[in-house]
């Protein structure tokens, strides 16, 4: 099984964990719940680049969890 190291950040701190990238959403939900956090930012441990942010609000569709991914950088149209 292929695993990568990710940094999980929330409002009260951060920690590193190994996770299969195929299951990053599930890992974010578990980390969010275990830390009783309002948000969970998941970043690549080598580059520090944010891969995803997970938030929970009971009013969100699909069970309340929302997964946000950074957009690609805008391209100059000169």
Backbone torsions φ then ψ of 26, nearest 5 degrees:
-65, -40
Q: Report the predicted TM-score, pTM, of the whole model to 2 decimal places.
A: 0.82
Torsion of CA 21, 23, 27, 28, to 10 degrees: 80
Asked if residue 8 has pLDDT above 70, the reply is: yes
**Alpha carbon distance 13, 39 (integer Å):** 11
Percentage, residues of the chain above pLDDT 90: 72
Strand order in the sheet with 50-56: 13-19, 4-10, 39-44, 50-56, 65-68
Asked if residue 63 has pLDDT above 90, the reply is: no
pLDDT tens-digit series, residues 26-55: 999 999 999 999 999 999 999 999 999 999
């Amino acid at each position: 099984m292929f695993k990568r190291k990710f940094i999980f950040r929330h409002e009260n701190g951060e920690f590193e964990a190994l996770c299969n990238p195929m299951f990053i959403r599930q890992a974010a939900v578990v980390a969010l719940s275990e830390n009783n956090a309002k948000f969970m930012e998941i970043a690549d441990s080598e580059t520090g680049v944010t891969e995803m942010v997970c938030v929970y609000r009971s009013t969100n569709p699909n069970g309340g969890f929302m997964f946000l991914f950074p957009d690609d950088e805008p391209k100059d149209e000169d």
